[in-house]
Structure formats: structure tokens, C-alpha cells
Structure 1
């Protein structure tokens, strides 16, 4: 199964969400996961290599890759349909290398923040993806939510995004998230992320069940 974590707006916390979700899927749900880091900064791959030196056997593999590598990676992904493959996408839409990734995806996790620029970018990203892959489920995650966000703004953004996909619970802006690694999720953030990722896991399970019937 191919899970994308993406948004063309930078700073929405894609890589942190990818790490948290990979930790949740392996450590809580005991799923086999491979995380492909296609973000330009490749911060996940760097954390992974650093952690391997200091820790024991990693709970999942992290592969540093570029968009151009996907056609080769895709053949390997298709050989292991039971494995959950997560792809942390670069924050862009203007690259034809995204087309095969969008077309073969089974689920999109789309973090965003409650500001005008993030909202516009998020909507455009979701619409483009849906044009390429009309049936893909999308889960929008309000991320790095600050305490001063107006309630009216939240309501309107949630209303508009709900037309394109499902909304998860909010994840607040907390310093603890900076301590997430490929081996560990800080204890104080676990109660915050569990409701979000339980919803994501339900969507994953539903897609797997549908694929089994096909």
C-alpha cells in the first residue's frame, strides 16, 4: 500500500507527521513500513542515519530518493503489497515526476496550517491529485495549530476542505515535536497524536480490505 504525505506548502510539518505516523504504524500497530524520503531537505533520512549509529536495529527502513527514482521503486513496492510504503513528498506541484506517484497512491495524508497561503496551497494540491487519482481518500491534518487561531477561520477552512476529504483532529504547535526521531516519539505528544493516527489507520485498513476484495 502506497501512502503519500504531501502538500505543496512548505512549513506545514510533512516530515514530522511522516515520522510520527511511521513510528505509530510500527510500534503501536506492528505493521511493516518503509519510509521513502523525497523531500528536498531529506531530514528524515538524515535522522535515520544518525539514529542508526546511536541505537539498535531500526523499527523501519528509510530510503532517501528523488522523484526520478520512483519508476524503479514502484516495481519493488508492487512486489510487497502487504507492506505499508510511505512517501514524504517534496513541497511542489510543477514536476512531471509526481504524476506516477500520484497515480499509484492509495491514500494521501495532507498536513496544513490555518493561514490563507497554506489553505490555498492545500486546496490546489488536493484538486490536482484528485484529477490524476479521482478515487484516492484524503485525510487533512490541521498541524502546528497555534492558540491564537480564530475559531471562525477554523470553521470555514474545515468546511471547505471537508468537500475534498476527511478532517482529522488538530495537532497543536508544541516544542516536543522537534524531538521526534525514527526510533522514538516523545511521551508527552502520544495522547495528542493517537486520535489522529487511529483515524488514519482506519482508512488504511479500509483500503487494504477493498484491495483484498478486488
Structure 2
């Protein structure tokens, strides 16, 4: 399975969701994981190298990459049917190098927030993705959702996004998400993330 994490809008927790997924699949589901960090900031790769100094054997490998290297890397990843390959995408759509990445994907996870600007960016990202890869499964994750806040456009956003793919239960905004590493997810977060990840990966875990 090749799974992309992307949205044109920054700040929606794309990289954090990639790490959470890697930890969940490798540690909770014992599924071999390879994580490819293609984000311009390379924040996951930096987190991984820092944690390697402090922790024991890593549960999965994190590889820094860029769009220029993907034409060579992509076919190798596509032949690896047993592992979950998680790719943290760059946060922009203005690079034709994204086309082969979109084409190779089995699943795309798109975190978003309930505000108008993020909604527009999410729709644009999804439209471009679907033009390149019409058959790809897309799952939208309401992420960093603040408790007790009423979102006036929530029903409209959910209605529009459901035309493109599934929408998971929301992931709340919590301080303990800052303690996530590529080696560890705090146990306090598992009740929060498990319903979301079970919904996202159930079909793929069953096929494994």
C-alpha cells in the first residue's frame, strides 16, 4: 500500500498525521512501514534522526526524498507490496514532479480544518489529485479540532468533501500531540486516534 498525506494548505497537521500513522501501523498493528519524507521542511526526517540518538531500535525507517528523485524511487516502492509506504507530500501543487507521486498512490489521507480558506485549498488539492489518479481512495481527516467551538460551515464542508471521499471522525487539538516521536505515541492518545485509524486502514489491513 502506498499512502500519501497531503493538502495544499499548511498547518493542518499533515506531517504529524503521517508520523501517527507510521507509529500506529508498525507498533499497534505490526505492519512493516517505510516513511518517505518529501515535505520541504523535512521535519519528520529531523525528528527521526534526533530520536535515533536517544531511543532504541527504530520501529520503521524514515527516508528523506524530493520530487526530483521520485521517478527512480517510485517504481521501487511500487514493487514492494507487503510494506505500508507512507509519503509526507510537499505542501504545494505548483510542481509537475507531483504527478508521478499522485499516479502511484493507493490511498490519500488529507487532513483539514473547518475554515473557508482551508476548505478551498483542500478541494483544489483533491480536484488536481483526482484528475491525475481518478481511482485513488481519498480520506479526509478533520484535524486539530478545538473542543466546544462551533463551526458554522461544518455541514457544508462535510457535504462537499464527501463527494470526493470518506470523512473520518475528528481528531481533537491536544497538547500531548507535541510529544509524538517516530519511536513513540503517548498512550493517552490511542483512545483518540484509534477510531480514526481503524476507519482509514481497515480495508488495507484486512487485505494484508
TM-score calculated relative to the size of structure 1: 0.93
Q: Which residue of 2 aligns with 1:110?
A: 110
Runs of 4+ in 1 over 4 A off after TM superposition: none
Equivalent position SS for 2:7:
coil
Per-residue deviation, 1:133: 0.5
Moved more, 152-161 or 108-117: 152-161
Q: Give the paired residue count.
A: 208
Q: Does 1:160 align with 2:160?
A: yes
CA distance in 2, matches of 1:203, 1:35: 20
CA distance in 2, matches of 1:31, 1:105: 18
Q: Does 1:37 align with 2:37?
A: yes
Q: Does 1:65 align with 2:65?
A: yes
TM-score calculated relative to the size of structure 2: 0.96
Deviations 1:110-151 (A, max 9, x none): 000111110000011011100110011100000001135425
What pairs with 1:1-20 in structure 2 (closer than 5 Å)? Answer: 1-20=1-20
Equivalent position SS for 2:153:
helix
Runs of 5+ consecutive residues of structure 1 not aligned to the other structure: 210-214
Give the aligned CA root-mean-square deviation in angstroms: 1.3
Q: Which residue of 2 aligns with 1:26?
A: 26
Deviations 1:22-72 (A, max 9, x none): 000001111010000011111100010011111111000000111111111
CA distance in 2, matches of 1:23, 1:203: 18
Q: Does 1:144 align with 2:144?
A: yes
Is the 2:78–2:104 Cα contact (8 Å) retained in structure 1? no
Equivalent position SS for 2:108:
strand
Runs of 5+ consecutive residues of structure 2 not aligned to the other structure: none
